Structure formats: C-alpha cells, structure tokens
C-alpha cells in the first residue's frame, strides 16, 4: 500500500478504504497508480493518443493523478470494478468506469 501514501491528505483515507474493500473482494487487487509526474502523464497521454493504451489518459496538466487526487486499481474483474465504482460514487467520488476507465477512482471536481 506504499502508493496510497502518495495521495493528497484530503482523499487518502478514502483511497485506503476503497482499496481495503477491493482486497476483500479479490486479494489480487493492487494499486497501480496514485501520483504521477507531468513527465509520466505526458508519456501515458502520448501512448493513449497513439492507440497503445487500453485505458484513456488525460492531457498533461489536467490529470488528478498529477495532484494525488486519483488512484488506479488493477487485478480486478469487471464486476468487482463496477461494485467498487458504485461504492465510490456513493462516497462522493467520481468513477472512471463512467468514462471508459474502470480502474480509475478520483475525487470530485474541485477537490
């Protein structure tokens, strides 16, 4: 759970909670990304634009990952991600499954 420590303090405990729930559903769940540098985001965005990424990537400067306000969870089945997404939205977050990125969990706009 080291990557969870990268999260902005306003959202970190919620990321920890949703990840603990993910691990209860599937012990293979992993946090694949929390905070990214502008350079990392640039590479992901370029790969997305070139069609080399399964998941969409936001343009550099617009990703909540760059501010520690987003988290990606890997190792889960689609049904598990949908369940977590529903819980995350009930907690007030925004789930990437609503915009073709089911592994993505982020804070609401402005946070």
Domain boundaries defined on the chain: 2-36+65-106
Q: Under 8 Å CB-to-CB from 66, ≥6 apart: which residues?
A: 35, 36, 37, 38, 41, 60
The strand ranges marked E within 18-106 are 30-33, 70-74, 94-95, 104-106
User: In CATH, which of 3.20.80.10, 3.90.1150.10, 3.30.70.3400, 3.30.1380.10 is domain 2-36+65-106?
Assistant: 3.30.1380.10
Which residue from 2, 12, 26 is spatially nearest to 74, judged by alpha carbons?
26
Per-residue model confidence (pLDDT) at position 108: 87
Per-residue model confidence (pLDDT) at position 34: 97
Terminal-residue alpha carbon distance, the chain: 22
| Residues paired with residue 70 on neighbouring β-strands, in sequence order | 106
Q: Give the helix, strand, coil percentages of the chain, each rounded to 5.
A: 45, 15, 40
User: What's this model's pTM, rounded to 2 decimal places?
Assistant: 0.92
Per-residue model confidence (pLDDT) at position 111: 59
Question: Would you give per-residue pLDDT tens digits along the chain (111 residues)?
Answer: 589 999 999 999 999 999 999 999 999 999 999 999 999 999 999 999 999 998 999 999 999 999 999 999 999 999 999 999 999 999 999 999 999 999 999 998 665
CA distance 104 to 62: 15
């Amino acid at each position: 759970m080291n990557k969870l420590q990268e999260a902005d303090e306003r959202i970190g405990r919620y990321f920890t909670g949703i990840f603990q729930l993910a691990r209860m559903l599937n012990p293979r769940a992993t946090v694949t990304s929390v905070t990214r540098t502008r350079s990392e985001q640039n590479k992901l965005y370029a790969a997305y634009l070139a069609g080399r990424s399964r998941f969409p990537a936001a343009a550099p400067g617009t990703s909540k990952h760059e501010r520690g306000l987003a988290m990606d969870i890997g190792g889960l089945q689609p049904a598990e991600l949908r369940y977590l997404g529903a819980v995350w939205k009930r907690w007030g977050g925004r789930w990437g499954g609503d915009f073709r990125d089911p592994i993505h969990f982020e804070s609401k706009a402005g946070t």
